[in-house]
């Protein structure tokens, strides 16, 4: 077994939350995270901290060009390097299954005949030291013959365009107009032409959304250990253990039960760990050498080793009557999926179905497509598809409000959807949709004081000014702007996907106390699921001690930690399993004691009435008597209500299970001479249905808001338009917000229960990422009077030197 620091794993140990006789740490309370202190102090063990006494180190050789034929690969010098145990290329793979992929199996484990993007894996090396592996990989000689690159829609769909993937056979190919289009989804409802004739005002806009990186702090890493039965044990940081397993096992030529996966400490994800990175490579090298193999990417490799957020070009048209009612919307969204499909089809579905935003629109004509190109592969990132659309439609709302002559917030409220509104897909919104109320709340929040940099006295506090500690301005050319935005995001997997999760719950007496053990395959990536699962068990079972087992593939799938779905779906599975355990405990107690045992009689009344948190002491005493001689265990799946695919001609269909909503008000200060922006405040109002852990909910909202801020003013992967090479694969050149860039983020949480969801909850994590970006852009426009139709905004855009 691999070793990790003994104080680095919060999982698999009991958490005991009691106060007097009442069980604490239940649903609705702000329970502290079991891994929080360890992460803050640097003691938490991440996947990169794993160690095995006789392990080797793996390294990946990546392509130096974006599109080329591979003429030859010479590994001789690398193999002859002392300390090298194995070098593998495509020809060394053990089975005929040599591709993988989340939705489309179009990604080669190692490049074969052609490389399709800068940084594609070509060969892998195992050696006794990481530096030896790196130097050996550098000795591999690869001869390329470069090919023309596909970088945009024009080059992808030209009559003579080279095909990124020849001989496509995936399920999307039959309905796309060109082989270099991954997927196309139209949504048509009503009569846009007739509605346009009724419009008194029409506005159009062309918008550009940049390529964003998930920028998680823990790089891709893992440890593969060969087993005596010919299988392999993989300890990995991922978002979806069972999806990884489904893709890994066929390439290794092993049945799934011989590829045993255990979740290791995850240093952030945000969608970037849904796709495989080094998992197959580490397993291949471990099985080839018979030794454990560890792979840890450096930051440069990490930029090439995972997908990014799709950059997009968006064209929008909106109309409105003179009294401010929207008449129609028409848009076309072009997403660049890069070299491989990843989750592009799902991103297209989200972008199209949410393209109209949280507004009442009966007449729409929407088209969304994703391209194959030779740019870096793009896939899942927080709020995928909906983020790009929100940036454009919210800019349109400001333009149209100004044309009509209405306040920008009032214009949005006038057209805001509510419960019962029919989406452009024909699906009615059958849970609360408090869009107008969220806008009212965020507008009503107190404004931050003017000229905060003078608050300390006569001397300016440069930390409060654009440019910050660079000391570039003392406020001479600084102006303030305020902007608003609101967004809509789906929750959970959509379009007919069988979205479910599994939970195993066990109750037994340990050391004279009843203990509940919860075992799921949920990937804890920082969202706080391990905290919520314990809260659910305490709430449903009345116990104080709850043990959260490490996530692995020895229990049924929990699906991905993405799409704001884990608390909804895996939380629902834990709740369901706990309820079944409670029923079994009641049956045992009635069989053993009837109504004659005083402690059990009280416990029975509380358990049966669902009031187990009211007097934990009585419940615990009764449970000990019932369970001291036997344990109760249940493994249960939980599914949300089914969805259906969107029609490929009209886009109609019950495609989403739930929607979430957030609104932002951004206050910015801009130095108009230097082109510097300081975001002073990003206030947010969000409906969460039910805050299972209020403190965690606030953290999710503030985190998502900050990622949207980064997209607004600094984050963008720059790809050379001629060579398709990445120009800035490092945190030196790819900037993310630091604590000095992060503004005050006051949050107003609204709780309007969704009757279809466990506890009435609503997915939280993604919605704030949507509206924070357009709110910041709106505030910058308000401050400068300039029109910005791209993100991020850089200094040269503000000063006119771009």
Read off the DSSP letter of residue 27: T
Tens digit of each residue's pLDDT (9 = 90 or more) over 519-546: 999 999 999 999 999 999 999 988 889 9
| 718 assigned to some structural domain | yes
- The distance of Cα 784 from the centroid of its chain, to the nearest Å, equals 33
Q: Helix or strand or coil: residue 347? A: helix
Residue 615 confidence (pLDDT) above 70: no
Indicate if 513 and 622 belong to the same structural domain.
yes
Decide if 425 is inside a domain. Answer: no
Q: Distance between alpha carbon 43 and the CA centroid of its chain, in Å? A: 25
pLDDT value at 2 more than 70:
no
Confidence of residue 617 (pLDDT cuts 50, 70, 90): low
246 and 114 in a common domain: yes
Question: In the predicted model, is pLDDT for residue 408 greater than 80?
Answer: yes
Residue 5 CB partners (closer than 8 Å, separation 6+): 43, 45, 49
Task: Please report, for the domain that includes residue 59, its CATH number.
Answer: 3.90.1170.50
- Predicted local distance difference test score (pLDDT) of residue 607: 75
One domain for residues 289 and 359: no
Amino acid 10: pLDDT? 36
SS (H, E, C) 436-454: HHHHHHHHHCCCCCCCHHH
Q: Which CA distances in Å does 226 have to 51, 254, 293, 361?
A: 14, 12, 9, 57
Q: What is the CATH number of the domain that holds 696?
A: 3.30.365.10
Cβ–Cβ under 8 Å, residues 664 and 682: yes
Q: Where are the alpha helices (DSSP H) in 405-528?
A: 408-415, 435-444
What b/e string do you get for 591-627 counting C-beta neighbours within 10 Å, with b at 16 or more?
A: eebeeebebbebbbebbeeeebbebbbbbbbbbbbbb
How does strand 658-671 pair with strand 121-127?
Answer: unpaired
Spatial separation of the C-alpha atoms in residues 462 and 473, rounded to whole Å: 8
Higher pLDDT, 456 or 224: 224
Q: Report the C-alpha gap between 176 and 44 in whole angstroms.
A: 47
Q: Are residues 544 and 579 in the same domain?
A: yes
Chain segment 296-314, per-residue pLDDT in tens: 999 999 999 999 999 999 9
Residues 205 and 224 in one domain: no
Domain presence at residue 650: no
Q: Is residue 601 a part of any domain in this protein?
A: yes
Question: Residue 625 falls within a domain, yes or no?
Answer: yes
In percent, how much of the chain has pLDDT > 70? 95
Answer with the one of 305, 321, 355 that is the final residue of a domain. 305
Secondary structure class of 164 (helix, strand, coil): coil
Distance CA 118, CA 105 (A): 20
Q: How do beta strands 14-16 and 676-687 pair?
A: unpaired
Please indicate, yes or no, whether residues 603 and 665 belong to a single structural domain of this protein.
no
- Reading the block at residue 91, the tokens are 């020809």
Identify whether the C-beta of residue 51 lies closer than 8 Å to the C-beta of residue 293: no
Q: Which two tokens stand for residue 59?
A: 């390294």
Kindly give the pairing relationship between strand 500-510 and strand 378-379: unpaired
Answer whether 761's CB lies under 8 Å from 567's CB: yes
Structure tokens at 281: 């490579």
Q: What is the pLDDT of residues 437-489, one digit of tens each?
A: 999 999 999 999 988 777 655 677 888 888 888 888 888 889 999 999 999 99
- Annotate 312-335 with b (16+ C-beta within 10 A) or e (fewer): bbbebbbbbeeebbbbbbbbbbbb
Q: What is the pTM for the complete model shown?
A: 0.95
pLDDT band at 600 (very low <50, low <70, confident <90, very high): confident
Domains: count for the chain? 4
Query: Per-residue pLDDT for 5 more than 50?
Result: no
CA–CA gap between residue 55 and residue 293 (Å, rounded): 5
Query: 3-class DSSP state for residue 467?
Result: coil
> Does 106 lie in the same domain as 253?
yes
Residue range 28-67, pLDDT digits in tens: 999 999 999 999 999 999 999 999 999 999 999 999 999 9
121 domain residue, yes or no: yes
Alpha helices by DSSP H, listed for 594-683, are 598-608, 616-627
DSSP output for 323-382? TS-EEEEEEEEEEE-TTS-TTHHHHHHHHHHTTT-SB--S-EEEEEEEE--SSPPEE--T
Q: Average pLDDT over the chain, rounded to whole? A: 93
On whether residue 166 sits in a domain, the answer given is: yes
Are residue 474 and residue 517 in the same domain, yes or no? Answer: no
Q: 331 with 208, same domain?
A: yes
99 and 247 part of one domain: yes
Tokens of 361: 């629109």
E strands, 623-781, in order: 632-639, 658-671, 676-687, 747-750
Same domain, 626 and 533: yes
Contact 307, 338 (CB under 8 A): yes
- How far apart CA 753 and CA 190 sit, in angstroms, is 31
Domain boundary residue among 379, 396, 413? 379
Q: Whose CA is closest to 237, among 289, 310, 303, 297?
A: 297
Q: Which of 85-94, 139-148, 503-512 has the lowest mean pLDDT?
A: 503-512
Region at 605 (left for phi over 0; alpha for psi -120 to 50; beta for the rest): alpha
Inform me whether the pLDDT recorded for 735 exceeds 90: yes
Q: Do 88 and 154 form a contact (C-beta atoms < 8 A)?
A: no
Q: How far is CA 633 from CA 438, 583, 623, in A?
A: 43, 11, 14
- pLDDT at position 451 is 83
CB 544 within 8 A of CB 23: yes
Q: 634 in helix, strand or coil?
A: strand
- Supply the range of the domain harboring residue 777: 430-491+657-798
Indicate if 441 and 543 belong to the same structural domain. Answer: no
DSSP state of 600: H
389, part of any domain: no
Give the C-alpha separation, 69 to 62, whole Å. Answer: 14
HSE-CB of 196 using CA atoms within 13 angstroms: 12
């Amino acid at each position: 077994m691999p070793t990790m620091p003994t104080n680095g794993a919060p999982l698999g140990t009991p958490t005991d939350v009691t106060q007097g006789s009442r069980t604490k740490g239940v649903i609705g309370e702000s329970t502290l995270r079991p891994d929080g202190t360890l992460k803050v102090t640097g003691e938490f063990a991440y996947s990169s901290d794993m160690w095995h006494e006789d392990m080797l180190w793996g390294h990946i050789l990546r392509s130096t060009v974006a599109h080329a034929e591979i003429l030859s690969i010479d590994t001789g010098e690398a193999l002859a390097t002392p300390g090298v145990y194995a070098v593998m290329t495509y020809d060394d793979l053990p089975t005929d299954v040599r591709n993988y992929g989340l939705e489309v199996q179009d990604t080669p484990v190692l490049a074969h005949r052609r490389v399709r993007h800068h940084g594609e894996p070509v060969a892998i090396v195992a050696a006794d030291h990481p530096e030896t592996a790196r130097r050996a990989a550098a000795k591999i000689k690869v001869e390329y013959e470069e090919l023309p690159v596909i970088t945009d829609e024009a080059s992808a769909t030209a009559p003579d365009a080279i095909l990124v993937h020849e001989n496509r056979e995936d399920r999307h190919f039959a309905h796309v107009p060109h082989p270099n289009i991954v997927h196309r989804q139209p949504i048509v409802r009503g009569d846009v032409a007739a509605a346009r004739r009724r419009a008194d005002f029409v506005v159009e806009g062309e918008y550009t959304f940049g390529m964003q990186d998930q920028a998680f702090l823990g790089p891709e890493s893992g440890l593969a250990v060969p087993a005596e039965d010919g299988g392999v044990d993989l300890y990995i940081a991922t978002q979806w253990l069972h999806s990884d397993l489904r893709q890994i096992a066929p390439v290794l030529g092993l049945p799934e039960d011989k590829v045993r996966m255990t979740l290791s400490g995850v240093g952030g994800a945000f969608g970037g760990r849904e796709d495989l990175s080094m998992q197959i490579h580490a397993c291949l090298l471990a099985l080839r050498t018979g030794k454990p193999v560890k792979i840890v990417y450096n930051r440069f490799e990490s930029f090439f080793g995972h997908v990014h957020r799709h950059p997009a070009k968006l064209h929008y048209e909106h109309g409105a009557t003179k009294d401010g009612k929207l008449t129609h919307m028409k848009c076309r969204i072009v997403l660049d999926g890069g070299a491989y499909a990843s989750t592009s089809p799902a991103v297209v579905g989200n972008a199209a179905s949410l393209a109209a935003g949280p507004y009442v629109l009966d007449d729409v004509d929407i088209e969304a497509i994703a391209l194959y190109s030779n740019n870096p592969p793009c896939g899942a990132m927080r709020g995928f598809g909906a983020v790009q659309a929100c940036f454009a439609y919210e800019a349109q709302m400001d333009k149209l409000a100004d044309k009509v002559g209405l306040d920008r917030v009032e214009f949005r409220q006038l057209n805001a959807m509510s419960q019962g509104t029919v989406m452009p897909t024909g699906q009615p919104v059958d849970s609360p949709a408090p869009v107008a109320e969220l806008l009212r709340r965020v507008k009503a929040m107190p404004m931050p004081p003017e000229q905060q940099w003078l608050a300390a006295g006569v001397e300016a506090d440069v930390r409060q000014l654009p440019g910050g500690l660079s000391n570039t301005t003392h406020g001479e050319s600084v102006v303030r702007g305020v902007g608003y935005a609101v967004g809509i995001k789906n929750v959970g997997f959509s379009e007919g996907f069988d979205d479910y999760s599994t939970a195993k719950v066990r109750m037994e007496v340990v050391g004279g106390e009843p203990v509940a053990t919860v075992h799921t395959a949920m990937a804890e990536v920082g969202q706080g699921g391990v905290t919520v699962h314990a809260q659910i068990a305490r709430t449903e079972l009345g116990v104080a001690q709850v043990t959260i087992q490490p996530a692995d593939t020895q229990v049924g799938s929990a699906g991905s930690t993405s799409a704001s779905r884990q608390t909804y779906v895996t939380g629902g599975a834990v709740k369901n399993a706990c309820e079944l355990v409670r029923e079994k405990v009641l049956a045992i107690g009635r069989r053993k004691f009837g109504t004659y045992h005083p402690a059990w009689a009280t416990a029975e009344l509380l358990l049966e009435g669902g009031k187990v948190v009211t007097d934990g002491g009585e419940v615990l005493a009764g449970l000990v008597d019932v369970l001291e001689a036997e344990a109760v265990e249940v493994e249960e799946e939980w599914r949300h209500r089914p969805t259906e695919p969107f029609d490929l001609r009209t886009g109609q269909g019950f495609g989403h299970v739930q929607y979430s909503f957030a609104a932002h008000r951004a206050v910015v200060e801009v130095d108009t001479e230097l082109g510097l922006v300081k975001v002073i405040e990003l206030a947010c109002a969000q409906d969460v249905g039910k805050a299972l852990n209020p403190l965690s909910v606030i953290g999710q909202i503030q985190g998502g808001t900050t990622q949207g801020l980064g997209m607004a003013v600094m984050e963008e992967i720059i790809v050379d338009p001629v060579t398709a090479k990445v120009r800035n694969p490092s945190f030196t050149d790819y900037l993310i917000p630091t604590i000095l860039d992060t503004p005050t983020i006051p949050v107003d949480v609204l709780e309007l229960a969704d009757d279809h969801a466990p506890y009435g909850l609503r997915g939280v994590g993604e919605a704030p990422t949507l509206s924070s970006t357009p709110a910041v852009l709106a505030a910058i426009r308000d401050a400068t009077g300039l029109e910005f139709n791209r993100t991020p905004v850089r200094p040269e855009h503000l000063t006119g030197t771009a």
